[in-house]
Every structure is written in C-alpha cells, then in structure tokens.
Structure 1
Amino acid sequence: MSFEIDAPKICEQLEGTDRQQKTRALAGLRELCQNAPKNVSTEDIAEVFDQLYLHLLKAYDDRFESVRDHAVQAVDAFLQLLPPMDFHLLNVVSTLAERMGKAETVEPSEEIRLLYIAQLHLMVRKYAQMGNVGVFRECYPQVVKVLIKSIKDDYPLVQREGCGTLVDLAKVANTQELRPFCESLAVALYGMLNHKHAQARISAVEAIGRISLHFDASGESMRRLFSEISPLLMDSMPLVRREVGQVGVLMCLELPDRYSFFERILPMILCCLKDDSPEVVKDISGKWLLCGKQYFFENEAELSQQEISDPPVENYPKNVMRPTIGCRGLVQRALRLLQLITRETGDWKDNVRLHSLKLLYQFVLHAEAAMTPKFFEIYGDVAHACIDPVAEVSAEAAKAADLMGRLLAYDAWIEHGFNGLERNARESYMRCFYHMFTASLGGNYEQLMRLAQLLRSVDYSHTLKPGFQKYILKLLHTVLEKSLKINAGQEELMELYECVYVACIKVMALSHSLTGGRNEDVEFGQTLIGKIMGLEQVSEAKLHERWFHLALKDVDNLDATLEDNAEPVMLLDGLINICLIRATYISDLIEKVKVVFEHCCDSAQVKVFSSLSVASLLWSQTVDIEREQSTQLLSHFVSEVVEPYLTWKAGSSAEAMRSLAMATLCALAQGAEEEAVEVLPALAKHMPSLLEDRNVTTRHYAVKAVVYFRGMSVEDLKPLAYSTMQRMDDPSAGIRSLAALAVGKLKPKFKSESEEGSGGEREVWETFVKRAMDLLLLYHESPEKDIRAAVEVTLKELVPPYQEAWEERYQRARAMCQNKDQLDGLYKKVTVAEDPSQQATSSHLDPLLS
C-alpha cells in the first residue's frame, strides 16, 4: 500500500499567506502519518518527506503561532515513521538550533518551545533505540545549545523536558564525544538546583548525575559537582533528597573513576539511609546493598578473608540491621572524611549540624571498630554537639555517641575518654562520655573508681550548672549499675560507694539550693542514695551518719565575704537541708556554720541560719542517740550557734540574725521537747528583751517559744510571764492571740510545802494569775474573734486551779463591764465541764503555739 500525498499542492499551500490553509495542510499531514498503514514502506515516507521537509522546517519560523505549532507536530509525526538518517537529523537539529539555540529568545511561545525540546527528545530516544546515537556527533554543538537554552528557560516544563532529554542522551552517548560539552551543561543545571519547583530540582539532579559519568575526573568539574549537589541532601522535599541519594548510588555503581571519589559519593547515600522519610530510606537501602555487593565482588579476595573473622557485635543496638561486609568495606576506606563531617557539627545553621550528625551516625554504624583510631580526632566535636541548644541536634549527637560506645574498641578509646574528662571539666565532654560509657560493655573496678573520684572532685561535683549536675548524677547511676558486674571485694566496693555517695550528695545539695527546694535532680539523686542503701544494707540515717562528714569536709573557702549565691555557701546550705542535723557530724557542722557567721556576708548568714532553723524541727528524729547525750549536743549547739545572736545588737543585719536565732530556738524547743526542758532555762535571761524586740518576727517566735520554758522556779519564770502578758497588748493581732494562749501554758515548779518560802511563791504566782485574768477579761470584749477564742481557751486552763481568784476577778469585772450578758456567757463556759464543741475550739487554737 502506497503513502499517497499531493506534495506539490501542500508545498504551494505552505508557501501561501493564508493561516487557515497552512494549518489545515499541516494537520492533514499529521493525521496522514498517524493513520498510515502498518505495511507502508519507509522509502515511500522518506520520499514524501524529502519533498516537504524544507517547507515544513520553514514553517517553524512562521509568524502565526498556530502554524508553528502544527508544523512541529507534523514533523514529529514523520520522525516517528522514518528510520534514523543523518540527513534528516541534521536538518531538524539545525532548525531547532535556529529557533532555540541562540542567546536571545527567538520563539516567544512557551508551549512551542516545549514542542521544540520535546522533538529533540523524540529524536534522541528514537536514535538511541536503534543503536545509532553516534549520528549526533556531528551536531553535538547545536544539540548542546538547545539543551542549555531549555535548561535556562523560564517555563518549568521546558526545563524539565530539557533535563529529560539530556538524561536520555547521556545514557547512550559516547563519553569522548560528549565530554567537551559536559562542563557547560553542568553549569546550566546548577542554576536549577535552587528552583522553587521540587520536580525541576529533581530533574536537574538526575541530569547532573548522568552527565557526571562523562566528566574528566582529573579536572575540577567533579569537585564542583559535589559541592553544588550536596546541599540538596537537606532539601525540604523527600523526593529531592532521594534523587540525590540515587545519584550517589549511580556514581557508586557506574562512575569510571569511582574509587577516587568514594569519600564524596558515600555521604550522598549514607545521609539518605538516616532520612526522616521512610520511603527514602527504603528505596536507597535496597540500592545501597547493590553497591556493597558490587564492591565485595570487586574486592572479593580481601573481603572474603575479613568475612571469615567477622563475629557478630555483642552489644549491637536493637532494631538496627547490621550493614553487609561490602557496605562496611566501602565506608571503612573513606574514614578520612570523618573530620570534615564533625567540623560541620559546629556550623551556624541548625539543619547543617543535624545533617552532619546523622551522617556521622551512619559512618559509625558502618565503620564499627575500624573507626576507633579516629575517636581522638572527633571527640571534642561530638562532645560539643551533645550540648547543642537545639534539642533535635543534641539528641542526634547523643545517638551517635551511644553508637560509638557500642561499636568502638572499648580498651582503645576509654583512656582517651578519661583524659578528655580530666582536661575538660565541661558538660559537653561529660555528656558525650556518659552516652559512650553507659552504652559500652566495659568498666572494671579501677575505671569505676577513677570515674567516681573524678566526679567527686571540686571541678565536677561543685558545679552550679543544672544540666551538668543532671549528667553527673546519671553517670553516677551508671557507675552503680556497672559495679554489679565487676569482680571486687567488699572493702573495695564500699570505697567505691563512698565516692559515689559523696559526689551524689554534693550535687543534690547544690541543686536543692539553686531551685530553693526539691526538684527532679534531687529526686533522682535520692534514688541513687536508695540504691547505695540497698547495696550496703543500711538505712538512710546510718548512711548519712557514716559518710556525710566527708561531704562536709569538701565545703571549703568559707572564710571570705561570700554572698548567699556563692558556691560554698550554697553547698553548705543544701547539705543542711538534705541531710539535716545528726550526732556524728554535728561538731563539724557547727564549725562550718561559725565560719560562715564570722566571715560571710549578711545574706549568706541568713540563708544558712534559716536552713538550720528548719532542720532543727526534726532534731528528735535525726539525732537518734540516748537522751543524756542528745541533751549535751543540744546544749552545745545552742551555746555555739544560737545563744550568741539572742542578745540585742544594733543594725538590720543583727536584727535579722536575732530573729533567725529565735526561730531556731523555737524549732529546737519543738523538735527536741524533752531535751529542751533542761537546756532552755539557761536562756531565760534573754527572753524578756526578745519578747519586746522591735522586729515582729522575733516577738512572734519568742511568744511561741516561751511556753517550752518548763520546770523553772517562780522567781525565774516571773520575768518571762509578765513579759508574755505584756504581749497581749502587742500591735500585731497574731502575737496578741499567741500571747493570750501562752499565758495559760506557763506553769512554774513550786517548792514543796515543807520547804521554806513555798507559800510566798504561790502567792506571787497567784498575783500574776489575777493580773492575767483581768487582762483576759478585758480583751474578751475585743471585736477580734481570734483573741476572744484564745481568752476562752486560756481561762479554761487557769480557772480550775484558781477558782477563788476567778470568782473575785469575775465579780470585779462584772461591776465595770458594759456587756454583762457576754461576760456571763464566758463565766458559764469556763466554770463548767467542757463539752465536745468547746474541746473542738481548744484543739483548733492549740496549733497556734506549735
């Protein structure tokens, strides 16, 4: 069947000026080619095309866009049917070069420019399919001009089609023929790497990868290629990152001089193995195995021997597949790159730091023990990354350090790890060492002891940085855990636990002082103390009594004008709050406190005294010794620490210390009630002035403490009693109520009736009781509910033993009272037996004095 067409007529139509006539003719040609019979001979088609091609190609320059459009499509239809011929190729390419290969944009239509480059792509595919791509050698200059113009086009579809054309051409082109043009093509493609469309970036990366196989390895082209394409490993689009990984795989498999460039190729692949997108990881992982397989095949003699002596790693991370020996071999030959990778962990861009750490993780995973010698070079960089302000970056650094601890040769890196800690008492080295040491299987007694002593030292355990404190405690926990797996005697283990205890308690103390109370670090430290208690089989109290004095010895340099935020002051303050007061170290504690009171600033003195006051409340619980010895210790403590500050001195600082001394005395009276009975009478001489002190807090604690002065004679108690009674007229309502309650609690120790002067004592005290009753009745008329309630409670204490005096004072008061009904009601309440409701009132008020 023939390919019949009236070629002269069509030529005449194409030569005309009628646009519609030309478009109809071109459309007819396209349809004729598309509907051509299968058995039509190519000679017939070629004969027709030979008659028409000049007019068809001339139509590429027609002033009407629709004519140009139909002309390109008509030529496409002919090219689909024609065999690859140099003649046709050269003519079409020359025309395309005229339309798209010039510096200026000749073709204004974006759609037609797309048709032009698509036509070139069609010829590349067709000629490549027939194995005759060599015909392009004569027109490479023109083809490259068209490709470069398309790559730089403003229309993204044209750019992508140009990249696709270049990819297909590079797949089949002869390297020697294409190489002279690779540099200019690559430069054009680099401009697309920052394109706003992800698909355009993907197309550019794919094209760069393909032409890289034709580069001259001895030039600078490859170096620039890697520097241009590597940033796309951090692209926001997973498909772009995957394409970079695929280019890396392509180079690893097909680049002629790949062995020279493994150090630059491998990061492109390894980064994708740690990508955030599971699809990227899955796709590149499979292709990475092919790279390893090929490398193993190419180096089988060497790697097969290594495979025989390649036991499984005992401490390998869970849920992580171990790379094949070929993949590991590839990475192990590129370890020189490690220093460059870790250098980027200090970059100012967050994503660069994160990217470099993910790459480091993959290097460690593949290199395993072979990377151990490089630890000396990268220790500082990894340590710095562990304290990165960006949580995601520091977490990735921790993962890399953990993996190094598992896979690097322990005996080879541990000494350098210790040296880093000893030379650099910083949180960064501490964190890195913690992750490595905890993950490793190593650790003998000498190493654990060396670490515990290091953490106990001033440089570490005396730090005021919360993050540093946290990791000291975590590392101490690791020491305790590893101590369960070592061979050591009981005495050796006790010495180790002693170091751990002292370091732990000091860190807890400083952390407590920094936050003003218990926090997460203090609670975690408490769990460590609990572990030591379990290992030593002792109670917490016994543990503190055994070793706390060692921590107290480390509180040094207190003989200076230190503020309350100075490290020695904070350490002492924290130790007091956490371990309280105990018999075994109370003498040492008193000496430290006296140094603070003598040399440190007012704020430091107040801070320490305040903590002593709180700790004194628990005296009976913490000073667990016989009564007689406890009384002696209490007397010594009061005389050395409290009594010197009970006397009046001028100045606001002395006033604050006096107030705290009174608070401490009050706390001791409550916390050591039995011992206080014997110790407090010696301090009675100070109480009248303290009860009248200008500071309301001092008066408050003095009134609360006065009720604990028991077993005193009337003569000794009388000044305290009258001073307390005067406080019922205090400006502070709270003190007035406390004083009203306290008056009823004061009870002297009378002489026996057989002793001389016993009657006089009772008369003296009854006189005080009468005056007290008068005042109480007076204050019962007050509108304040608290004072009236306190009066009722106190009268119930005073009336039973002094019934006659009460009747007398009641009648006297009733004669002068305005509200007799209220007074009569009070009389009935205090002179009859208490009912449950009255008991409730009493129990409600008693805590005011506790």
Structure 2
Amino acid sequence: MATMAAGDERAASEVLRGLARHLNCLNEDSKSTRKRALDTIKKETFDKGLSSAVLQEVFASLLKPLLKCLSDPMERCRETAVQMIGDFIRCVPQPEDCLPYLMPTLVHRLGGKEILEPAEELRLSMLEVLTLTVEVCGSRLAPYLDDMVKILQRTIVDPFPDVKKESCKCAVNFAKSIPEHFHMQAESLIRPLMLTSSHQHSRVRVAAVEATGAVIQYSSGKNLDDVLSHLAQRLFDDSPQVRKAVTSVVGSWLLHLPDRYSYFHKLIPLLLSSLTDEIPEIRLLAAELWRQAGAQWEKENEEDLKDKLDFLTSPPARYPAGVERPGRGCRELVCRSLSRVLPAVGRDVGDWLAGTRAKTAQLLHTLLLHAEDHSTQHLQPLLSTLYRGCADAEPDVRKSCLESAELLGTFVSPEVFLKLLLAHVENPSSASSSSGPLMVLAAVLRGSSRDALRPHLLWIGGTLAHPDVCQESQQSAYLEQLLACVQALLGVCEGDCGSISLQLLQVLVTVQSLSAEPELRDEVQQTVMALCAVQGLGGVPELYRQHMPQLMEWLSRTQPSWTSYSVQRLQLEVIAVQSGLVIGEFLPLLMALLRGCVQPSRDPEMRLHIFTLLSRLLLDAPNTLDSQGKFCEHLEEFLLELLLPNLVWHAGRTAAAIRTAALTCLLALLQGGAITPAQLLSVQEKLTPHVLAALDEDSQMSRLLACRSVSSLLRLIGEGLHPDALNKIYPELLKRLDDSGDEVREVALGALGRWLSCLGKDYDLLTCRPHLEFLFQQLLLQLDDPDSSMQDRVLEVLKAAGAVHPALLQQEVMSVRDKHRSPVHCDLLLQHLHSLVLAQDSA
C-alpha cells in the first residue's frame, strides 16, 4: 500500500509538472490562451485514465486555479472550469477535502445580494456541482450549513427556472444529509420556497413543494403554519403533478413529522381534500397515505383504543352504499381533530372563490363520513355551515353540502337534529338564507330511516304546515325546498305519512298557490299523487274528500282578514279547482267561506279574484259545484247574499270592475247548467232589475255581459215570464242597439230576437199593441243602419217579429219605407209579411 501510495504520488507529480506551464497560462490576458490551457488540463487529467488516488492529488493542486477561473471574464473558460470541478468531485475518493475552498467560492458567486454569474446556464452548472457535492460529501457538509443556506436562499428565487428546480433538489438532499444540524437554519429557506411555489412553471412549483416538504420535515416544526396556507392553495393548482406533490408531502408529514401530533388538525384536512381530487392517481395516493397514517396512529395508541374496539368494528346501520368505511385509526384521528377543523371549514365555505368553497364542501362530506355519530357533538356549527353551503350559487357546493346533510341524517338521531333544525326552519338566522334550513332539513330527512322518523312525524308535519314556515316566502328556491321536504318524507316514511296527510297537503296547496313557475306546479301535482299513493287512495279527489272539512276550517280561521294579497285566497283557488267533484260535497262550508269574502265592505280586488274563481267553477258546474246536484239548495243564498249585493251600483272604477266580475259570474251561472228554469223563475224578480240596470254601465264589457245574461235568462225562462215582466226588458235592449260597441249591438239584437220568441199565447196583442208598435218602430230605424251586415241581422229579427203581429208590422214598414236610404230591405220584409198574411188567411 505504501509502495502504491508512493507510485501514485510520483504519477501525480509527473502530471502536475506537465501541467505547470498550462497552469501559468491561466493567468495570461489572452482569452484563447486561457481557454486552450483549460482544455489541455482537462485532456491531461481525465482523458488519460488516471487512477482516483492520482486524481485526488492532482485535484488538490488544481482546485485553487480552477476556482479562480470561475471569475474568468470569458464564459467558455468559466464553463470548462465548472465542468472540471464537477468531474473531479465525482471521481476523487475524498471530495470533502475541497470544501474549504469550494464553498466560499460558490457563496461568492451565487450567494451574494447581486448575481455575479450572469450566464443562466453556468449558474445551473454551479448548482449541479453543489448538488453533486451534497450527494458525495453528505454529513461532512455540516460545518458549511450557513454557506449552503446563503446559496440556496438566493438560487431558489433565481430568475432562471432550471436554477430554481436544481436549488430545490439540492435543498432536499442537503436537509436529508445533515438532519441533526439542518433545523438550525431551515427557517431561512421558507420564504424563498414560498415565493417559488407559485411560479408559472408547474415543474418549478412541484420542486418547490417537494423542497418545502423536506425543509419542514427536518426543521424544528415551528414554521409549519407559515407554509400550510401556501400548500392549501396548491391543492387548487391546474397541474395534477403539483397537487400530487402536495398530497405526497402532507402524507409524509402525517407519517414522519416529529411533532405531527400537534399538527394533525391542520394536516388532515389537506390530505383528505385530495381524496376527492378529479385525478384517480391522486385519489389513490391520498387514500393509501391516509390509510397508513391511520394505521400508524392506531398502532401508536393501541392502549387508548382498547375500550372502543367493540364499538368501532361494525358500521352504523344504513351506512352509505358503495362507500368503503375508513379504518378505525382514520376515524379516530378525524373525531379527535373535528372541533379544531370545523371553524376553518365554516369559514372557507363562505370564501369568495368558488373553487375554495367547492373544495371545502367536499372536505366536509369526507369529514362527516369519518366522524359518523361523533358529529352529534358538533351539530350546531355543522348545521350553520350547511345552511350557507346548501344555498350557495355554485351547483358543486350545493351538491356536496346536501350529501353531507344526508350523512347527518344517517348518523345522528332525529330527536337531536330535529330539535335544532326545526327551530332554524321556523326562525332562520340572518347568517343564512331562508331556504337554507329547509334545504338541509330535506336532505337530512332523506338520509334518515323510516323507523327513526316515525315518532317525530307529527312534529315535522306541524312545523312545515305552520303559516310562518309554509307561507314565509314566495321565492322559487324556498318553495322548491318546502316541496323537497314533503318529497323526502314520502320517500322515506311512505305509508306512515298518513298520520300527517293533512299537514302535507296543506304544504303542497300552499306551494302550488304561491308558485308562478309551471314546472314547479307540475311537480307539486305529482307529489300530491304520491301522497295519495302512499295512503292507498284512489286519486286526488279522495285525498281532498278525506281532508276537506279541515281544509275549509283552516281557511276560515283567517278569512276575516283576507286581502287580495293573502295567500289563503290562492289556497282556496287551488283547493276548489283541484278537488273537482269533491267540492260539490261540501257546499255549506264553501258558501259560508265565500259569503264572507265577497261582502261589499271587503277588499275590492280580493272580491274580483273570488268572482273569477266562481265563474270558472260555474262554467263547469256539473263537475264542480253541482257535482252532487245540490247547488240548487244554495242558489238563493248564492244570488241574494253573494252576487246581487255586488251588482248594486256604486261610483268609481273599482266598483265598476267588481260589477263586471259579478256579471261574469252570473253569466257563468246561467250558461253552466247550475240553475234550472224553475229555480231561476223563482228569483227572477230580484235578479232582473240588477241585470237590466247593468245594460247602462259605462263599461262596454259590462254592457256586453249584461246583454248576454238577458239573452240567457230569456232562453231559460222567457216563455214563463209574465207579459209585464217581458215588457220591462225590451226597452232596455233597444237602447243597446245604439251602443258604441258593435259587439254589444249584435248581442242586444240577438236578445231582442229571443225576446220575440218568448211571446206566447198569454201575451195579449191588443193590450200590448203600444209595446209592439214601439219595438217595431225602433227596429225599423236600425234597418236603415249604414252597416249592411247590421241591416241583414235586423231584417232577420223583424221577420221573426212578423210572426207576432204581421199586420201591425206591415203597417209600420209602409210608413217608413220611403224614408229609408234604400227600400230594398223594406221590400224584402214586406214580401215576407205578405206571405205570412196569406198563410194566416188560408188557415
């Protein structure tokens, strides 16, 4: 060995003697001379295949000149010098001997406030040499901790991305090389790493995250709080590789960080967030790391868990299908950290960034899946968080929060969650939207079980049907959630909902009455049919038959205070229309309710709506009000107490509008089949004066409705009227022949034709001749109307009049024939009358 050492020493001396001249040339002013000298030195050392021992001796002598070349003005010389230094460090057996000279030089070139090395590629080469030095020297770099940190502090934030990446790699290796010393300066690298962690290049961000993991791992741990927020932001990174790096780092900390127990509540949310990453590879990595962390903690705390072994083995009843239950250690870790995690979750669910809210909502679902029934202890903050999240504008946030609420229903006893939830439903806090508690309630009910909810159905149904709840808002979002609560109860409790069938129907009626959206109204209808189905009822009418007395009593309680804006009026419309045939079975209750609504002293606009509803029902009376054929029993009450008081004339547009609505209702009564001729005849003396008075209304619509009503009245009972009663009608109709509205004139003319057809044998032509003369004279005036179509219609009526008294009419026609613009229609009428007279004479 001594001989070999001596031989190596001689060989080294020979090499150095051969390089002496070239070493001197390194001090020459000529760039090319210095470059050739360096190339020759490289050729005479590495290209000669010298042994490592010889290279060690040569390196010791060449190190200082080569380090001096790192400041050479020529970039090519600096590049060659860096390469040679790296080659020597890689090949020599004792590279640590160079550290006293190498480290100060690299600090000078790379660790100062100013960048002394302008070439990016050379800075990278120097960093690669430094990384190599860390790899080969390892713990022997401990005395140079300060120098290394100075360099890395500067190069981690170097403008050149490749330098940043190499610096991060070097920092990782260096931290692992001297773990017992690194913690003293680890804090110095945190700030540059955090600055680099948001670099535009994803590979740089990956390197910074990985370096952060190593730096914190081998630090005192007190700087963990400084980096967690930055790593949390990287969980939203567009690059999957960055998110994967964060997952690996956080998982490693959970497993290996010396003081990890103090930071479980901060690290667990980060790793659990990766369980829902969109990339399967990241999800699998996070799941494996989390499993390892849970298993390790379980092993380390086996003594503490002995008492819980019996309770933690079997999953809770109705555990979510298709979901693998986390290990015992994982569940315990979450349970013990939940109280410290939830405040941050509640805060981030309201973050201004949609991505943060969505990620937080996913995390909340994962936490509850681990916490299981332990979430009962944190129900108040959990519900507050869910109220906000379930009402979020982002669909992803709502979806995750609703799934979380369903988990609460699965794991928490209804007796516990209903006490808090129903209180919030009745009085939503200012911090949450009014629909938030309802949305959470619907989801919790979906997650619960039939047996668990059965004892509380009356409580739930009563709350939902309470006016302060079901009539709280007309917003679609609120109504949709009311409906969702009913649907959840029907879906979970099925036939048990029969005990709250009335309350559920009240809610459904309210939702339909307040909703302006056809889709929502259709969904309500489907839910009503579902309510029938769970009770085994034959259809919607049976459901209403079952509850109509209670529904009428429900509405009657508030009827004295109704206005046009009252929801109860809308509820009445829904009940009356949807119940169909059934409403005819409860006429006494309905009439009592309606009578109070349409009194002249009540809100005019509300009366308009009520008469519109009545018109709708009366037009289809056999299938609504008169389905049992008993409307006749209430006819007099309907006319005298509901209808006629609203036909009395009062000044003002509002009063006129009400009279129009009442006329509409009267016409529907006359045309809908709800009144027989005999019934009408019995009340005509009270009814006819109001109708005839309406023929003089200012409103054209009212006059038109009145004309149609007179025509319908004549159709039904005209032949049964006394001649005196008939003679009171035609003069009012004649006035309408001069109406400003053509439609009114046309309908009035038709009514006169019908009046003529009602003159039977009891009508004394001799006594009533003056009436007929006046009627014929007025009709003949209309026969000369400028409108030819009107002339044709009048002619037809006059032909019908000829059947009553042809001689009288013929006489009147002859007296006016020459006064008309054209005698054509008079001649046609005379021909018709002549044929009638001939027919009578022949008879």
Structures share a fold, TM > 0.5? yes
Contact 2:597-2:610 within 8 A present in 1 as well: no
Count of aligned pairs: 803
Query: Shift of the alpha carbon at 1:695?
Result: 1.0
The residue matched to 2:636 in structure 1 has which SS? helix
The residue matched to 2:35 in structure 1 has which SS? helix
CA distance in 2, matches of 1:768, 1:544: 56
Residue number in structure 2 paired with 1:16? 28
Give 1:378-397 correspondences, 5 Å limit: 378-397=382-401
Q: Does 1:83 align with 2:93?
A: yes
Q: Does 1:447 align with 2:456?
A: yes
Find the partner of 2:64 among 54, 62, 70: 54
Contact 1:13-1:22 within 8 A present in 2 as well: yes
Contact 2:439-2:484 within 8 A present in 1 as well: no
Residue identity matched to 1:707: S
Q: Does 1:547 align with 2:547?
A: yes
CA distance in 2, matches of 1:657, 1:496: 39
Residue number in structure 1 paired with 2:670? 669
Range that drifts further, 100-109 or 23-32: 23-32
CA distance in 2, matches of 1:215, 1:261: 14
Residue number in structure 2 paired with 1:848? none
Residue number in structure 2 paired with 1:623? 625
Find the partner of 1:330 among 306, 329, 333: 333
Range that drifts further, 581-590 or 152-161: 581-590
The residue matched to 2:391 in structure 1 has which SS? coil
Find the partner of 1:288 among 252, 276, 290: 290
Going from structure 1 to structure 2, the CA distance change for 1:32 and 1:819 (only over 3 Å counts) comes to farther
Gap runs ≥5 in structure 1: 487-492, 833-850
Gap runs ≥5 in structure 2: 1-7, 836-843
Going from structure 1 to structure 2, the CA distance change for 1:19 and 1:609 (only over 3 Å counts) comes to farther
The residue matched to 1:685 in structure 2 has which SS? helix
CA distance in 2, matches of 1:356, 1:207: 26
Query: Shift of the alpha carbon at 1:554?
Result: 3.7
Q: Does 1:159 align with 2:164?
A: yes
CA distance in 2, matches of 1:768, 1:389: 75
Going from structure 1 to structure 2, the CA distance change for 1:660 and 1:68 (only over 3 Å counts) comes to same
Going from structure 1 to structure 2, the CA distance change for 1:49 and 1:815 (only over 3 Å counts) comes to same
The residue matched to 1:316 in structure 2 has which SS? coil
Query: Shift of the alpha carbon at 1:123?
Result: 1.8
Going from structure 1 to structure 2, the CA distance change for 1:782 and 1:124 (only over 3 Å counts) comes to same
The residue matched to 2:392 in structure 1 has which SS? coil
Residue identity matched to 1:143: M
Going from structure 1 to structure 2, the CA distance change for 1:29 and 1:194 (only over 3 Å counts) comes to same
Residue identity matched to 1:90: P
Residue identity matched to 2:780: D
CA distance in 2, matches of 1:84, 1:830: 143
Residue number in structure 2 paired with 1:528? 527
Going from structure 1 to structure 2, the CA distance change for 1:541 and 1:676 (only over 3 Å counts) comes to farther
Residue number in structure 2 paired with 1:259? 261
Going from structure 1 to structure 2, the CA distance change for 1:410 and 1:547 (only over 3 Å counts) comes to closer
Residue number in structure 1 paired with 2:717? 711
CA distance in 2, matches of 1:283, 1:419: 43
Residue identity matched to 1:322: R
CA distance in 2, matches of 1:311, 1:813: 108
Range that drifts further, 723-732 or 249-258: 723-732
Going from structure 1 to structure 2, the CA distance change for 1:809 and 1:197 (only over 3 Å counts) comes to farther
Q: TM-score, normalised by structure 1?
A: 0.85
Residue number in structure 1 paired with 2:838? none
Q: TM-score, normalised by structure 2?
A: 0.86
Residue number in structure 1 paired with 2:270? 268
The residue matched to 2:376 in structure 1 has which SS? helix
CA shift digits 1:197-217 (9 cap, x unpaired)? 333332222111111112224
Residue identity matched to 1:215: S
Residue number in structure 2 paired with 1:720? 729
Going from structure 1 to structure 2, the CA distance change for 1:405 and 1:698 (only over 3 Å counts) comes to same
Range that drifts further, 596-605 or 92-101: 596-605
Query: Shift of the alpha carbon at 1:110?
Result: 2.6
CA distance in 2, matches of 1:327, 1:789: 95
Residue number in structure 2 paired with 1:406? 410
Going from structure 1 to structure 2, the CA distance change for 1:422 and 1:651 (only over 3 Å counts) comes to closer
Residue number in structure 2 paired with 1:105? 115
CA distance in 1, matches of 2:45, 2:612: 102
Contact 1:590-1:637 within 8 A present in 2 as well: no
Contact 2:695-2:703 within 8 A present in 1 as well: yes
Contact 1:610-1:660 within 8 A present in 2 as well: yes
Query: Shift of the alpha carbon at 1:574?
Result: 5.3
Q: Does 1:642 align with 2:643?
A: yes
CA distance in 1, matches of 2:796, 2:545: 43
The residue matched to 1:565 in structure 2 has which SS? coil
The residue matched to 1:56 in structure 2 has which SS? helix
CA distance in 2, matches of 1:319, 1:805: 96
Give 1:674-713 correspondences, 5 Å limit: 674-675=675-676, 678-679=679-680, 681=684, 682-709=686-713, 710-712=716-718, 713=721
Range that drifts further, 643-652 or 13-22: 13-22
Residue identity matched to 1:72: V
Contact 2:595-2:641 within 8 A present in 1 as well: no
Residue identity matched to 1:659: T
Going from structure 1 to structure 2, the CA distance change for 1:208 and 1:616 (only over 3 Å counts) comes to same
Going from structure 1 to structure 2, the CA distance change for 1:310 and 1:583 (only over 3 Å counts) comes to same
Residue number in structure 1 paired with 2:466? 457
Give 1:140-159 correspondences, 5 Å limit: 140-159=145-164
Going from structure 1 to structure 2, the CA distance change for 1:389 and 1:799 (only over 3 Å counts) comes to farther
The residue matched to 1:145 in structure 2 has which SS? helix
CA shift digits 1:254-311 (9 cap, x unpaired)? 1122222211111111111122344432332333333334334434566687378522
CA distance in 2, matches of 1:822, 1:76: 125
Give 1:178-577 correspondences, 5 Å limit: 178-217=182-221, 219=222, 221-300=223-302, 306=309, 310-336=313-339, 337-410=341-414, 412-422=416-426, 424=428, 426-442=434-450, 443-465=452-474, 466-484=476-494, 486=496, 494-511=498-515, 515=516, 519-534=518-533, 535=535, 537-555=537-555, 559=560, 564-572=564-572, 575=575
Contact 2:711-2:750 within 8 A present in 1 as well: no
Query: Shift of the alpha carbon at 1:382?
Result: 1.4
CA distance in 1, matches of 2:233, 2:798: 88
Residue identity matched to 2:596: K
Query: Shift of the alpha carbon at 1:613?
Result: 3.2
Query: Shift of the alpha carbon at 1:662?
Result: 1.2
CA distance in 2, matches of 1:565, 1:359: 44
CA shift digits 1:67-94 (9 cap, x unpaired)? 2223222222222222343221332222
Contact 1:33-1:78 within 8 A present in 2 as well: no
Residue identity matched to 1:306: L
Residue identity matched to 1:635: E
Range that drifts further, 741-750 or 444-453: 741-750
Q: Does 1:121 align with 2:131?
A: yes
**What's the Cα RMSD here?**
3.6
Going from structure 1 to structure 2, the CA distance change for 1:539 and 1:705 (only over 3 Å counts) comes to farther
Going from structure 1 to structure 2, the CA distance change for 1:193 and 1:813 (only over 3 Å counts) comes to farther
Query: Shift of the alpha carbon at 1:771?
Result: 5.1
The residue matched to 2:196 in structure 1 has which SS? coil
Query: Shift of the alpha carbon at 1:730?
Result: 1.7
CA distance in 1, matches of 2:747, 2:831: 24
Aligned-residue sequence identity (percent) comes to 23
Going from structure 1 to structure 2, the CA distance change for 1:804 and 1:233 (only over 3 Å counts) comes to farther
Query: Shift of the alpha carbon at 1:519?
Result: 2.2
Contact 1:717-1:748 within 8 A present in 2 as well: no
CA distance in 1, matches of 2:554, 2:247: 57
Residue number in structure 2 paired with 1:835? none
Contact 1:558-1:596 within 8 A present in 2 as well: no
Query: Shift of the alpha carbon at 1:395?
Result: 2.5
CA shift digits 1:163-191 (9 cap, x unpaired)? 12112222x23322000111111122122
Residue number in structure 1 paired with 2:38? 26
CA distance in 1, matches of 2:472, 2:830: 65
The residue matched to 2:112 in structure 1 has which SS? coil
